[in-house]
Structure 1
């Protein structure tokens, strides 16, 4: 007798040789929009955590980079806010603004070329 329920499609990394990069693109854009709106960065990091496990290695590097961007950026913002009492924090917040834009632009460029992030562990921006 034939099985009435077909098997579920495999979610292994090799099953999709041409994965969509739209989720990673959306996360970079959410990070950039967070400069104006604020909360979209939280949505972006949650998305990165959700999608990273099913992505191929090169795309997983983008999700890891995005997760690190959120947490390192949060550290910069909190430090900048605390140090703004002594005016040094404003420089740190300006650095964070430029840093976030550069990381997102570099990430989007490498994503467009379907390349992994060259240096996921960096605290600055990829080469």
Structure 2
């Protein structure tokens, strides 16, 4: 099994550090219960800006993971907000929030282990 060695830019922060910042900002936005939602938006903007730089490295799947988690989570939270009109939205919103937290934790732990978040190499 060969590991992809990331190319690091000596002028800027490492891709590993950038990926940790993305996960950290995303988590900050979630644990603040939306009070610091701008942190989550900043993590997504950063992920889109640095996605090309991470291509071909072990960090690229993490960028895709965070972006998919954000967009799917946003979709389900919006649908849950609409479903509160029929009193089931609170339950589906809680399930969506747990799913987003699960993916955030799973991805961040995989980053610490130096693995892609989905377990595939």
* TM bracket (short chain): 0.7 to 0.9
- Give the length in aligned residue pairs: 106
**What is the rounded CA distance, in whole Å, between the counterparts of 1:15 and 1:33 in structure 2?**
28
Q: Structure 2 length normalisation: TM-score?
A: 0.78
Give the secondary-structure state (helix, strand or coil) at the position aligned to 2:37: coil
**What is the rounded CA distance, in whole Å, between the counterparts of 2:100 and 2:60 in structure 1?**
19
Q: How far is the alpha carbon of 1:20 from its aligned partner?
A: 3.8
CA contact (8 A) 2:73 2:97 kept: no
Instruction: Please tell me whether Structure 1 or Structure 2 has the larger radius of gyration of its CA atoms.
Output: 1
Instruction: Please state which structure has a larger fraction of its residues in helix.
Output: 2
Runs of 4+ in 1 over 4 A off after TM superposition: none
Match of 1:44 in 2: 43
Structure 1: which 5+ runs fail to align? 1-12, 121-127
CA contact (8 A) 1:80 1:93 kept: yes
Q: What is the root-mean-square deviation in Å for CA atoms of aligned residues? A: 1.9
CA contact (8 A) 1:32 1:100 kept: no
**What is the rounded CA distance, in whole Å, between the counterparts of 1:27 and 1:96 in structure 2?**
20
**What is the rounded CA distance, in whole Å, between the counterparts of 2:119 and 2:72 in structure 1?**
15
**What is the rounded CA distance, in whole Å, between the counterparts of 1:27 and 1:15 in structure 2?**
19
Q: Structure 1 length normalisation: TM-score?
A: 0.75
